[in-house]
Amino acid sequence: MIGEGGFGKVYKATLRNGMKVAVKRSEPGNGQGCPEFHTEIIVLSSIRHCHLVSLIGYCDERSEMILVYEFMEKGTLRDHLHILNGESQKSSSQSELSWNQRLEICIGAAKGLDYLHNSSGRGIIHRNVKSTNILLDEDYVAKVADFGLSRLGDLDHTHVSTGVKGSFGYLDPEYFRCLQLTQKSDVNSFGVVLLEVLCTRPAINKSLPGKEVNLAEWGLFRQKKGQLENIVDPLLVGKINPNLLRKFGETVEKGLKEYGVQGPNMNDVVWDLEYALQLQQTARHREPHEDSTTDASWVLPVPAIQQLPSHSIPIDEYDIPMDDFTDTSRLYAHGVFSMLNIDDGR
């Protein structure tokens, strides 16, 4: 077993052809995950993208609900950012992410979300964007996962009226307040992920002083004060070009705007992040005397770095029953299960 969540347990398995897969199995008799299970199948059976996790097959018979995905060797983005209860979540195969790696991961995830919104033909809203739902393959390529809460919209409509679902700390305030889900809701949640990547602290941390508990609120406050560098991950001291940090902060601030109509779309976010990466790469090839404003040797003042606790806490889910989805074409992949050789499964 490699993981466990609200839906059930996740196992690493190997097909007879040698392909590694992740098998997510609902607990027998657990009816709570049924709508999410069918939504996952509907979404992933109709789309393919290099930055979205692939569904290999599924089983929906009697009381069994099983999903089979491509196996993502490096786990979740969250695994690489946080320490839980004083112990690192990282396995021996995982290492600290460099700033360039973090940027490329963010760009990949943003491209996946942009595809959902604008190129899938379905106007899909993910509705549960967070660092645990961004998976990394063996080359640290990011892929967005977990589409159980997704909504299939209409590109001709600006919003979908629906009950609130998602994870505290990542929820778009406008969606929470007005019950109107839009693509900008995903953009807002992704803005929290960007802060998480920069600061390596969880979206919600109740062990911190009151005004710092919510990362989005605290990060936005610091950004508006021009003090974002004060809460940057200490491991990144001296490694972030100042122009890049400024651009990154602006991207976060725009994404976290409370009123979504004023905010960017995911295509804008992709462009901004790619521009930020270009700033970093350009600065790396400059000599210090050429342009001090883009000198990659610029160092954040160490005393200014706020040493935030890096241990995290469980993020609560706030769920209101979801509308039923109509049936759609299914993946006929029962043959996959005859090939399964589950390493640690039941």
Q: Known binding site for ATP: residues?
A: 24
- In this structure, what are the phi and psi dihedrals at residue 304, rounded to the nearest 5 degrees? -80, -15
Q: What residue type is 243 in one-letter code? A: N
As annotated, the binding site includes 24
- Among candidates 23, 109, 119, 84, which has minimal Cα distance to 312? 84
Q: Following DSSP, what letter does each residue of 115-180 receive, concatenated? A: IIIIISSS-EE-S---GGGEEE-TT--EEE---TT-EE--TT-S-EE----SBTTTS-HHHHHH-E
CA atoms within 13 A on the CB side of 299: 3
C-alpha–C-alpha distance, residues 84 and 90, integer Å: 10
Question: How many other CB atoms are there within 10 angstroms of residue 46's CB atom?
Answer: 14
C-alpha–C-alpha distance, residues 119 and 98, integer Å: 30
Residues 6+ apart with CB under 8 A from 345: 1, 11, 13, 23, 25
The answer to whether 57 touches 332, Cβ cutoff 8 Å, is no
